[in-house]
Amino acid sequence: MKKIIRVWDLPIRLFHWLLVLCIIGSFISVNLGGNAIQWHAYFGYSVLTLLIFRIVWGFVGSTHARFTSFFPTKKAILDYLSGSSPRVLGHNPIGALSVFALLFVLSVQVFTGLFVDDEIAFQGPLAKFVPGWVVSLLSGIHEGNQVVIYTLITIHIAAIWFYKRFKGENLIKPMISGDKEIDPSEEAKYLPADLGRASKDGVLQRAFALLLLSIIAVVVGYFITK
């Protein structure tokens, strides 16, 4: 019988899939143009809220959501690439690099978006507080950074396919159910301590996450409408 371990708590799973939906919505709305650009802004504000939540949750969340549990050190990366490192329940070192890279480029995107001014249909809520040259600079970064985001997302999807096709590891299923199934014959490939580190995902944990997200949403909403 397979051993079932809770790896991804509900807040992390919801963050992941809501972020996916917001990125898709942002992509569609910006390409439609016209009045849809306002929806692009709404999706951007939603991404900003989600990112702030994820960063905070990376310090106060469940075991495998915390950055300290998967921070990609040089040794961890080299050991993983050489095949000498044990398996992990959460993000492996390469997956961790992908996570941090996506968090960074998405943060750059939403930050610069706050200063965008196309002088036609949209002006970011902070554009009026900075000189024109700053607006132009950040608007250029906002536009160019899209390529980086799409590239990283493509690599992310390709990695999911690679692990499924060549390593027989389904990375999507645990992000839906929250659980990882460990075959008894595979347990020896994990550190015993890692197998005993299930993530907390109870009512209090979820209620705290909801409260935290609500506070962040209110604060973001206040500053973008002030």
pLDDT in tens, 18-38: 999 999 999 999 999 788 899
Coil, helix or strand for 123? strand
What is the C-alpha to C-alpha distance for residues 95 and 20, in angstroms, rounded to an integer? Answer: 17
Superfamily of chain region 3-225: Transmembrane di-heme cytochromes, Chain C (1.20.950.20)
pLDDT band at 63 (very low <50, low <70, confident <90, very high): very high
In the chain, where are the structural domains located? Answer: 3-225
In this predicted structure, what is the pLDDT of residue 118? 79
pLDDT digits (tens, 9 = 90+) for 91-132: 999 999 999 999 999 999 999 999 998 777 788 999 999 999
Cβ atoms 44, 26 nearer than 8 A: yes
Question: By CB neighbour count within 10 A (0-12 exposed, 13-18 middle, 19+ buried), where does 141 fall?
Answer: middle
pLDDT digits (tens, 9 = 90+) for 201-224: 999 999 999 999 999 999 999 999
